[in-house]
A and B are shown apart, each in its own frame.
Chain A
Amino acid sequence: MEGAFGSDFGGSGSGKLDPGLIMEQVKVQIAVANAQELLQRMTDKCFRKCIGKPGGSLDNSEQKCIAMCMDRYMDAWNTVSRAYNSRLQRERANM
């Protein structure tokens, strides 16, 4: 059976669908959406940090800044993710 996103939902000849295969598709969709979100926000933040007065092109320092900014953004993402996870566990322990 062909899904709305052009993917195979794992239907057999009997027409029954496999939840495991459906979930694989769902997880991929979520991962793609998350990557898009990450890139959009990273681009926004790094543009603000690295590009002052916009010139005729991206100069060398701006390009280097963008590369560093991307790495730092992902480091920050990991730090924030860990901090949030810890806090959630602490709150659950206190309940």
Chain B
Amino acid sequence: MATKSEIKLLGTPASPYVNRVQFVLNLKSIEYEYIEENLACKSELLLTSNPVHKKIPVLFHANKPPICESLIIIEYLDEIKPDVHRILPSNPIERADNRFWANYIDNKFYPLYEELRLTLGKEGKELIKKQIIEGSVLLEEAFMKFSNEKAYFGGDDIGYLDVVLGCFLAWTKFVEKHNEFKVFDDVRTPRLAEWTKRIWSHEAVKDVIPGNEPIVNFYMMLQKYKPPGAV
């Protein structure tokens, strides 16, 4: 059983990739120590534990060398404590399907938010917003397929894709307000609009999702270190 000191998580409150790991730690009742990182001035710990990417989250488990990349960490946690709140299904084709959509969310969908921030000019931004909306429709279809009329991607309770997509909700809210559009709305993506409210209030999620302040601070940092118009 993982005691508090056995698992440590290096992260920042505004990082959705860190948040999703925290959801899983909560769902599996794994106690952990949270170490806050300052991304504007990366610590020795981060630079030595993730020299390849220099990114959070990083998970430390007992004396083992660190584990990096949020989706890899999530599968690791699922494997060391499989009997409590299974995250990925056991069927190979369902696992492949879940991993496919996680890959889509991380490599195609969410990067659009950053592209939107970096794009200057109304026309450019409208094009990106259109892509985000097209993506939301794909995700709505995926939700229908996975949930099978139930409350979550995982069925009756939170599963892998709920965690993978759910972590982006605070940023989604921010991007929607900032750009005056809806990513998930009641007409175009009614099920995901419902799911958003449901997941936001879930036990394992509600205390992890950051409030507006960390998001705004993170946004200001991005604007400063990676200003719009930069390639």
Q: Do A and B come from one complex?
A: no
Binding site for B on A (CB under 8 A): none
Binding site for A on B (CB under 8 A): none
